Structure 1
Amino acid sequence: MKYFDYAATCPLDRDAADIFIKASTEYFGNSQSLHEAGSAAANLLESCRQEFARLLDVEEAGVYFTSGGSEGNYLGIMALLSAKRKNGRHIITGAAEHSSVYNLMKKLEGEGWEVTFLPMDEDGIIKIDTFIKAVRPETVLVSIQHGNPEIGTLQPIQNIAGYCRSNGILIHSDFVQSFGKISMNSLARSVDALSISGHKFYGPKGTGVAYVNPKLAWKPYIDGTVHEKGFRPGTVNVPGIAAMTAAAQKAHSLIKQEHDRLKELRTIFADTLTELKSPYTIFGSEGDEQLPGIVGMALKGVEGQFVLLECDRKEFAISTGTACHTGLLSPAKTMAAMGINGKEAKEFFRISFGRKTAASDVVELGKLLASISGRVAAV
């Protein structure tokens, strides 16, 4: 099987796997326990916290370990709502947010909050003007995903965060797709809360990091919680966190190299399709507004589900959107957010590259897609 679904999940890095085994056998104590084994685990945990603070360029006191992006999104948003800076019950979010955010927003609507879902333009970007027009005096929270998981566009988070800061609005951002793929620089520090997920950058599943601005007086979602300073309940997964930290360090060290390589693969892929004169559309943007490793696209007149099945039959793994959306009859949320509906929206599918993606495999996949398109057109 030739794997083209890295945006859904990545294989565990071998070095990270070794760290996981070592930590599981040598640092197995509960980090809350007062004995020597517990202290050893706690020391390792705090070393990992310090490292993520460095990689994200944020204050260590605001770094919390979670079970992944979904939990980080949920708890981060609820923490900000408990610490809102002004009166009001209006929230702004994107129309193509991950299901963990979208479903929480729908739940909050049922509890009396007003939520505005912002559309994207034809390039998959939320325009600053669109965002500003949606802001009200009673707006207390904004939650905008940084990297779109279906077409790979990057939202102007720093600009949005700057406006929020000037207007007493707290901002959360889902960094799950972008962490480990682009430099964070001052990006993470510009928001009040964020989330990342270990398995998106070759760490173990079931691990993640949330950041909440330590200057905010947030309240625990579940009263009486003691782990992670009240951020979440449950024994902390120290071995998984240690492995995730090792994976994050490696991903961070390879950012420039991998970004350039994935950009080249994207060009090779598009050139293959162009040379074969296959009718297709690649959604998204370019340059600094695009993650090069995610290609959201459509073959004219061919349903994405059919493309997926045909690729699977030829042992190529692609997807029709985020894994959390798979199985739903509705098209990818990103298509609807861009104003693409009906039959055209159902043509969408996603290809995503990773460390083991070879240029020859990319060319072969391009030829296969052209073949699928040609066969359907001939019927």
Structure 2
Amino acid sequence: MKYFDYAATCPLDREAADIYIKASTDYFGNSQSLHEAGSAAANLLESCRQEFSRLLDVEEAGVYFTSGGSEGNHLGIMALLSAKTKMGNHIITGAAEHSSVYNLMKKLEAEGWEVTYLPLDRDGLIKIESLAHAVRPETVLVSIQHGNPEIGTLQPVKKIAEYCRPKGILIHTDCVQTFGKIPLDSLARSVDAFSISGHKFYGPKGTGVAYVNPKLAWKPYIDGTVHEKGFRPGTVNVPGIAAMTAAAQKAHSIIKTENDRLHKLRTILVNALAEINGSFEIFGTEGEERLPGIVGMALHGLEGQMVMLECNRRGFAISTGTACHTGMLTPAKSMTAMGINGKEAKGFFRISFGRDTVEEDVTELGKLLAAITSRTAAV
């Protein structure tokens, strides 16, 4: 199987896997325990915290380890709501947010909060003007995803933060798709909370990082929680965190070269589709406002699920959207948020590249998509 679904998850880096095994056997103590084995685990944990603080250029006191992006989003948003700096019950978010944010917003609405969902334009971007129009005196939080997992667009989170900061509005952003792919240090310093997930950059599943500005007086989501300074309950996964840290270091060190390579793979795919030019559409923006490794597209007149199944039959793993959305009958959130509905929305599918993607496989996939289109048109 030739894998083209890296936006969903990545294989575990082998060096990170070795570190996981070593930490599991040599640093197995509970980091909360006061004996020597516990202290050794706690020291390893804190060294990992220091490293993420360095990679992200944020204060170490604001770095918390989680079970992944979904938990990090949930706890980060709730921490900000508990620490809001002014009176109000209004939240602004995007219409194409990850399900962990979208479902939390629906829960908050049921509890009496007012939530505004900002649409995307045809390029998949949230306009500052639409945000400004949505802001009210009682707006206390804005949560906007940094990198879209379906079409790869990058939202102007820094500009959004610059607009909101003088108004006392706290900012949360989901950086699950962007950490390890583009530098985040400047963005990380501009927001109040963000989250990342280990398995998106070749770390182990079940690991993640949330950052909350340590200057904010947030309250634990569950009273009595002691782990991670009250941020989350449960024994800390020190071996997983150590492996995730190693994966983060590696991803961070090759951002430039890997980004250049992914740009090249994207160009190769488009060139391989040249013979069906006009029969396909790639959604989202161009240039620096996108992640090159994510290609959200459609073949005109064909359902995305049919394309995905045909590719799978021929040995190529692609997807019809985020893994958390797979199996639902509704179109991908990004399509709906962009105002694309009906048959056009159901045509969506996603191709995403990773470290093991080679040029020959991209060319072969492009030719397969062209063949599917041509064969269907001839019927």
Kept in 2: contact 1:56–1:188 (CA 8 A):
yes
How many angstroms apart in 2 are the aligned matches of 1:45 and 1:286? Answer: 40
How many angstroms apart in 1 are the aligned matches of 2:44 and 2:53? Answer: 14
Question: Which residue in the other structure is 1:314 paired with?
Answer: 314
The 5 Å alignment of 1:292-371 reads 292-371=292-371
Question: Which residue in the other structure is 1:64 paired with?
Answer: 64
The amino acid of 1:324's aligned partner reads C
Q: Secondary structure at the residue paired with 2:357?
A: coil
How many angstroms apart in 2 are the aligned matches of 1:292 and 1:197? Answer: 19
For residue 272 of structure 1, report the CA deviation from its aligned partner: 1.0
Question: Which residue in the other structure is 1:167 paired with?
Answer: 167
Moved more, 148-157 or 266-275: 266-275
How many angstroms apart in 2 are the aligned matches of 1:228 and 1:112? Answer: 29
Q: Secondary structure at the residue paired with 1:187?
A: helix
Question: Which residue in the other structure is 1:53 paired with?
Answer: 53
How many angstroms apart in 2 are the aligned matches of 1:308 and 1:338? Answer: 22
How many angstroms apart in 1 are the aligned matches of 2:126 and 2:325? Answer: 21
Cα offsets for 1:181-206 (capped at 9, x unmatched): 00113110100000000000000000
How many angstroms apart in 2 are the aligned matches of 1:316 and 1:340? Answer: 26
Cα offsets for 1:138-163 (capped at 9, x unmatched): 00000000000000000000000111
Kept in 2: contact 1:146–1:154 (CA 8 A):
yes
Question: Which residue in the other structure is 1:105 paired with?
Answer: 105
Kept in 1: contact 2:58–2:185 (CA 8 A):
no
Kept in 1: contact 2:63–2:210 (CA 8 A):
yes
The 5 Å alignment of 1:108-127 reads 108-127=108-127
Q: Secondary structure at the residue paired with 1:186?
A: helix
Q: Secondary structure at the residue paired with 1:377?
A: helix
For residue 276 of structure 1, report the CA deviation from its aligned partner: 4.4
How many angstroms apart in 2 are the aligned matches of 1:283 and 1:74? Answer: 28
The 5 Å alignment of 1:129-278 reads 129-277=129-277
After TM superposition, the score normalised by the length of structure 2 is 0.99
The amino acid of 1:65's aligned partner reads F
How many angstroms apart in 2 are the aligned matches of 1:164 and 1:230? Answer: 28
How many angstroms apart in 1 are the aligned matches of 2:375 and 2:342? Answer: 23
Moved more, 366-375 or 150-159: 366-375
Q: Secondary structure at the residue paired with 2:146?
A: coil
Kept in 2: contact 1:140–1:168 (CA 8 A):
yes
Kept in 2: contact 1:278–1:370 (CA 8 A):
no
How many angstroms apart in 2 are the aligned matches of 1:362 and 1:354? Answer: 11
Question: Which residue in the other structure is 2:3 paired with?
Answer: 3
How many angstroms apart in 2 are the aligned matches of 1:322 and 1:165? Answer: 31
Cα offsets for 1:331-357 (capped at 9, x unmatched): 000000000000000000000000000
Question: Which residue in the other structure is 1:41 paired with?
Answer: 41
| Alignment gaps of 5+ in structure 1 | none
Kept in 2: contact 1:278–1:373 (CA 8 A):
no
For residue 277 of structure 1, report the CA deviation from its aligned partner: 3.5
Cα offsets for 1:91-148 (capped at 9, x unmatched): 0000000000000000000001000000011100001111111100000000000000
Kept in 2: contact 1:276–1:367 (CA 8 A):
no
Cα offsets for 1:318-339 (capped at 9, x unmatched): 0000000000000000000000
| Alignment gaps of 5+ in structure 2 | none
For residue 278 of structure 1, report the CA deviation from its aligned partner: 6.1
Number of positions where the alignment pairs a residue of Structure 1 with one of Structure 2: 379
How many angstroms apart in 1 are the aligned matches of 2:276 and 2:144? Answer: 38
How many angstroms apart in 1 are the aligned matches of 2:53 and 2:263? Answer: 28
Q: Kindly indicate whether residue 77 of structure 2 is the aligned counterpart of residue 80 of structure 1.
A: no
The amino acid of 1:241's aligned partner reads I
Superposed structure 1 runs of 4+ greater than 2 Å apart = 275-278
- Identity among equivalent pairs (%): 81
After TM superposition, the score normalised by the length of structure 1 is 0.99
